[in-house]
């Protein structure tokens, strides 16, 4: 059963080891983003993906393909055993594609990459609202004056 997009986006946002997690999560959660119809290697291994992304890293550099999260994904893949099984999710929209890797639960994100197709640009991503308490009232405008006499 596929992992819901909403869960993937939320899990990416909590993956502190991904520097561009907010931008990648916003892309995944955008209403125009959909799962790619073909994902031939949904079940894969860390070693296989490290080899694939080492090639993509060079290709992106020499072809000036814009990407986010690639260095973080490479670091995460290098820190794990080659034979570790992972699941690949591919999402796409408007000339961009995101690859998200997790151990199968969709909760613990190994890494994620967002890249443009060809020499196109990455989408302009609206920041996601931060979680936290809702309905905060305005804070008091009064301030203690430490220099007041009297």
So what's the pLDDT on residue 20? 95
pLDDT tens for the chain, 150 residues: list them.
678 999 999 999 999 999 999 999 999 999 999 999 999 899 999 999 999 999 999 999 999 999 999 999 999 999 999 999 999 999 999 899 999 999 998 889 999 999 998 878 888 776 666 665 444 444 445 555 556 565
Q: Which residues pair with 92 in a beta bridge?
A: 34, 97
What local confidence, expressed as pLDDT, does residue 93 receive?
A: 94
| CB distance 104 to 87 below 8 Å | yes
The pLDDT of residue 72 is 97
Query: Do 55 and 39 touch, CB atoms closer than 8 A?
Result: no
Tokens representing 53?
């992304």
97-125 exposure pattern, b = at least 16 Cβ within 10 A, e = fewer: bbbbbbeeebeebbbbbbbbeeeeebbeb
pTM score, two decimals? Answer: 0.82
For residue 1, the model assigns a pLDDT of 60
């Amino acid at each position: 059963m596929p992992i819901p997009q909403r869960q993937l986006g939320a899990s990416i946002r909590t993956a502190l080891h991904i520097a561009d997690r907010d931008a990648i999560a916003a892309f995944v959660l955008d209403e125009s983003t959909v799962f790619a119809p073909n994902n031939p290697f949904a079940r894969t291994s860390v070693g296989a993906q490290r080899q694939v992304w080492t090639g993509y890293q060079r290709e992106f550099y020499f072809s000036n393909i814009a990407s986010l999260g690639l260095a973080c994904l490479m670091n995460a893949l290098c820190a794990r055993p080659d034979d570790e099984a992972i699941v690949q999710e591919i999402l796409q929209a408007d000339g961009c594609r995101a690859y998200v890797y997790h151990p199968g639960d969709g909760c613990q994100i190994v890494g994620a990459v967002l890249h443009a197709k060809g020499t196109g640009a990455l989408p302009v991503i609206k920041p996601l609202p931060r979680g936290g308490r809702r309905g905060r009232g305005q804070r008091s405008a009064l301030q203690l004056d430490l220099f007041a006499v009297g």
